[in-house]
A and B are shown apart, each in its own frame.
Chain A
């Protein structure tokens, strides 16, 4: 079973960065890491591959530069190979352009199953998984808690407001994996060493047959009209607990008449 996992390399969320006042997008001059949201899809793919006892887990990613450090993390976890679509013209791509590029790269791998996160930790549009599915004319199941593959079918427990739905779908299809549903493995030392030699194929837009003018800044069909500071909340009372903080909280709740 060949599984493609879409992964994104993002600036470290612990260092969230700032908007570039000129281009009005996130500044990208910091080191990129594997989006933690994607580690759950990678882990799920590794488990499905190992249960099947055959097949490959291939990562598909895109970046305006040839950054691979995040991909190496996922390869060190156990993914077999990676495809990085890297092209300067990709800078400024919106979610739909991203989906077009990823879909073209995924299509070349002819996967049985395509896994994604439900959304990235930096852009969090949450639309890329279904956009990829629609572009590739595939069914999709979003917000998976559990995935099992039985022959030509995938069964997914899909999150709902009230609990979950048991959803089935013929392969190939796109499934987005909810964060926290599996425990992503830590790369072992052996894994980290092996990752250095795993194949990372780099493609540009020309190789995928995508016109540069249709993605990135050139292909953008949205424009930011305003960036403004949001009204801040007024500062409240801060106290240091001296063993009686609970009494202060009780008094606060009493004042609000919510008890």
Chain B
């Protein structure tokens, strides 16, 4: 049982395909006869990596110049669909650019998007997306009723990237159609913020702080702890919304999904919004004053206590280990 073709919007930096794209290919190759990846720039540089994970083909829309990808990628895919050369389904990852592509494509081909998908299923020749709601307590499975290409926005880490050992993907190109006034955003400059330690969504240990820290200065404890554990610091939405740390630190529904070996939640009550982003962690430790806090419902080790007492002691104990 499978569908004929899935297209994936492929993201790459410096000639290397992003992990989220490889995850999507891994998930898609079990569902479709043919998986093809739509990229911009030099497709031939990516062909062997994409093929290794199961993509049969890679098609480039050409060089973007300094434009943002959304309008041109969506235009190329919509053009192919209009000519009858489109796929059964298009997958984009829930990334900054993936959402732009999916949203624009949706409006162009007048088809809604099934979003926040963490699992894809087949029902006959129809692809369905599974979306967790209420903090992941309930899974909702949704499909399209129409005959047009289905569009899914899939959350990172929904599949584990796993090479299938396939041959290099065949390389082709695609035409970008008329983009009207939409393609006028220009990237003038790119700034890389210096970070030390592992990335939040790749770290084996994540230490997250929440509103229970009380004030922004106390977030330093989270950073210290993360450093001592060679992990990455994260945050709940409340902390990000208060401006203590940037959005890139946010774990949860509106932020990143993390699945580390150990997740340490400090002063986080465990709103449904947060649980969706971290309940897939292998081991969860939670420290919170309120014994009724929902975070304890997912914790392997729950400490009912004051983060302002426990964290300094934990930091000292780790420092003593050297």
Which residues from chain A sit less than 8 Å from chain B, CB to CB? 13, 16, 18-19, 24, 36-37, 94-97, 99, 118-119, 121, 124-131, 133-135, 137-143, 145, 155, 158-170, 173, 178-181, 183, 220-230, 232-233, 235-241, 243, 245-250, 252-253, 256, 258-259
Contact = CB atoms under 8 A, between A and B. Distances in A.
A223 B128 CA distance: 10
B261 A166 contact: no
Interface string B236-249: 01001111001110
A131 B107 contact: yes
Nearest to B309: A241
B113 A159 contact: no
B243 A253 contact: no
B42 interface: no
Given A139-B71, A230-B139, A252-B283, 6 more contacts: A121-B273, A125-B113, A142-B99, A235-B297, A246-B314, A250-B318
Interface string B249-291: 0000110000001101000000111000001000111010001
Contacts of B139: 226-230
Contacts of A145: 246-247
A125 B133 CA distance: 12
B298 A233 contact: yes
Contacts of B107: 96, 99, 130-131, 134-135
Interface of B: 68, 70-71, 74, 94-96, 99-100, 102-104, 106-108, 110-116, 123, 128, 132-134, 136-146, 153, 180-193, 204-205, 229, 237, 240-243, 246-248, 253-254, 261-262, 264, 271-273, 279, 283-285, 287, 291, 296-306, 309-310, 313-314, 316-318, 321
Contacts of B71: 134, 139
B112 A96 contact: yes
Given A142-B96, A238-B304, A131 B191 contact: no
B185 A168 contact: yes
A140 B271 CA distance: 31
Contact of B313 (A166, A220, A246): A246
B185 A169 contact: yes
A95, A99, A229, A230 pick with most chain B CB within 10 angstroms: A230
Chief secondary structure at chain B's binding surface? mixed
B142 A256 contact: no
Contacts of A165: 187-191
Given A221-B112, A253-B262, A247 B317 contact: yes
A253 B114 CA distance: 39
B304 A239 contact: yes
Given A130-B104, A225-B143, A180 B243 contact: yes
B192 A240 contact: no
6 contacts: A96-B110, A130-B103, A221-B144, A221-B146, A230-B137, A259-B318
Contacts of B248: 159, 161
Given A125-B115, A163-B191, A224 B287 contact: no
Given A94-B112, A130-B100, A228-B138, A124 B189 contact: no
Contacts of A129: 103
A127 B99 contact: yes
A130 B262 CA distance: 36
A183 B116 CA distance: 28
B187 A166 contact: yes
Contact of B314 (A13, A160, A250): A250
Contacts of A121: 254, 273
Contacts of A170: 184
A141 B305 contact: no
B261 A258 contact: yes
